[in-house]
Structure 1
Amino acid sequence: MLRLTMIGACVLAMSATLPGLAGAQTQPPAAGVPAADPAFDAAKAAAAAMGADDFASIQQDLIWTGDLNSLPSGEMGKRSYEAIRAFQKRIKVKDTGILTPPQRVTLTQHAAKFTARYGFATITERGLSIGYPAKLTTERSDGKSGPHFATPKNDVTLDILSIPAEKESFEALFTRLKTERPGRKVTYSLLRPDFLVVAGTNDGKTFYLRFIKTDTDARGFAIGWDPALSPGFDRIAIAMASSMKLAGTDQSAAVQPTPKPVDKPVPPPEPPKPVGPPVPLPAGAPATAKNGIAILVSDKGDLLTYASVIAGCESVTLQGGGMAKVVAGDLDNNIALLHADAVPSLAPLAWRQPALAEGEAVSLLSGPTPAAATVAALTGANDDSRRVSLSAGAAGAVIDKDGALAGLTAADGAPTALKGLFVTAFLRAHAVAPPARGGDPTKATATLTCTPKP
């Protein structure tokens, strides 16, 4: 028998993290001043540093591994913290609540096993984009309100539905769905202005329904499954709820308010941008060939380097004769981005997520052999919050003990480096995504040559 209390708790957790319910992941504090929890505070800071999108992807994977039973919010709460710790305990590492880059790769691999098992794929139906267990629900038929999917044994059924508002109001739909009858037991129901959730059992099957409200209809899904498939299958309902979006948008499935039109003057057309290298040579600088180092930071051929090395070039030559295009650069911070269509001899580095700590042991990668160093201070000259001071200097990448990119050292070999968080922000600003897994740091670098046009 399926434990209905577990399903009810699962659904409650899913609804508790919806947009608009601020802080819902965190349990209500006890009376008085809550006890300090430095480990949780550190994990929360690490999650905030990596950004909401990245942390939401971690939460999504934790749903698939069965460690998290709430919708991804992009924010660290107690549920997410305990979910990460539970996963770390299961893979037999220290349960800090902060995933190292190798642990993040392991989490992705574990989650991928479950998505592959169910063939979780995205489908667009009835104005919704939603993930569903395509490998199981292979039988399809069309109903009046939307498509019906089922397994050959009919032990899993799925309906994607659109109910016109003129036919049934959102409130009336909720009342109908939560009504019990012989053989139907509702264990949880929730109505909000823009969504509803109902869950329970119906004629021997566990079910979960979720609808969103639009101006013209209610859109959602109803999934039912044989309790014998639980608890492994229960995560499907959470995964479907977290994947559901209005078709053709990147917004969550919650209804977004329609902004009122505002008459604005039409701006004059922008003048054409000057043609030339993305990072021009500074005034008076000679147009001479320069050599430097490039670090592969993605699976798609994105490389990190120094703006001072590639200034004046639209493309550079990599070791072995390959070419890379100069994408962007920042001369003030001496950081630049390249892109190559193929770098077969290199392996991308994972990205460090938590900030470096004073006294932490790192290595400097400027060639085939990394050199040992220590983080001496968290700020450099003039309290520059973008930089860290090191016990040694070399042009290249700062690598943490797990082999992940943690910063970019000074091009002149001075014992300072751009912080990993600043480097990450620069890369994300140019749509660079971290690699699916980190490679060997000694295989992540290549030399380059920039020859500016005279």
Structure 2
Amino acid sequence: MPRPVRLIAAGLLPFLAWGLAPALAQQGPGSAAPAAKVPAPRPTSPATPDPVFEAARSAFEARPEAERRAVQDALVWAGSYNSVVTGAFGRRTYEAIGAWQTRSGATSTGILDEPARAALLAAGEAARRAARFTVAADPATGLVIGVPERLLPKRSRLAGGTSPGGTRWQSPDGRITLDTRAAAPGEADLDALFAQSALVTPERKVTYSLKRPDFTVVTGETPAGKFYIRHAAGPAGIRGFTLAYDKASAREMDRMVIAIANSFVPFPDETPPVPTRPAATVSGPAAPVSPGAGPGAATGLVVGPRRVVAVLPGACSSPRIAGEPARLVRRDEASGLALLDGATPPGSPPALASAPAAPGEAAIVLAAGAEGATVTTGDIAASGLLAPLQPGAAGAPVLNRSGRLLSLVARLPAQPRLVAGVLPPLTHPLVGLAALKAFLGPDTPKAAGPDTPPLTAGAIAGRFAGAVVGVRCGG
């Protein structure tokens, strides 16, 4: 049975669809850390543990989860933290605490003693009250969401035909709008809604889009405004929200987007899944840990029977392919390229492109993920690939629109910066065809003739998702 494929598309978006997006954050308050004296935060090499950062992590994680979440939530309202409230400590939380300490006139340590923690929580609560931010169930849809009622005092019911409909909150001048929507089981399809939201028009630019089996996220902007869209699917149907606002209000609303997203609970009557502890280097929402995700995770490309090429971190011991032990055949330390011997699925690898990637060329990236292969669209740039690649994409094959192999994604940063739980488009270095051929030698996939007519991302994924496997380091 083919594995599921997730699509992550970067490009231009059309009009706003009725619904919007789901659950990256179904959390509540959470918070912070005890006291300790350490030097000010300083830059660190990804390969060398930073004792200052580790001290801050230990102090933060010593607190109960509810307190950790409360601190992150207060940092959102203080304007220092722009990620998902999870209670997990990462570089984003560390820097947010330091920034708040600096603005408060204290020494930036990344560690909150009791008086500082109390002051931060009080400041966050004062900002929430000033916005009259009320988290409550929406009677029209059943979802729970936070609404800044000072900014959005106008409230009306949205007609839904045969579906439950929704609610609209709006500013007095109509420039800020928050809509909730719900559809009963069978009345809407998450894939179709995502495709509708991601239609290409010259008037709407998508800055990030993410599709997973049970939720989607789309963010972007128009010439005059910005928007955030989420859909969530569950046994009760599909629920979501859309937030749209003009750029004149962006300074305040950009922070409000994070607070609203963190408050969103699409199905409050359902038992939430037990959260999985995220990778230590990722500051963002918890993600399921699979054979292709987690500490030291990468993507491998099957190039032949029991042969997988991957790009591994500098210190990688006991590699595993799809959870099974693998043997290191050879490795190039400079590029991270590694050829592994291990169990491989029956998928066929893509043929090599007839020419190197050219700047401006559209590209497709297939990476291993917790729910199967993920597909990310991007564009070749002079210095690499511009795309919103997620942790675990190192070593992922980069294909042209004909499904021919252009390159592999090189090593990714050890400390990715997530915004609202997602990694924005960045330019990532690549391992080109020449370096790949030189390393693989006789194990190099066959070259192909001239490129065929362009294929859709879904068609490319259907052909080659079986040749992508998750690789982890350590037993």
Asked which structure has the greater RCO (Cα within 8 Å, sep 6+), the reply is: 2
User: TM class, shorter-chain normalised?
Assistant: 0.3 to 0.5
Normalising by structure 2, report the TM-score. 0.45
* Structure with max Cα Rg: 1
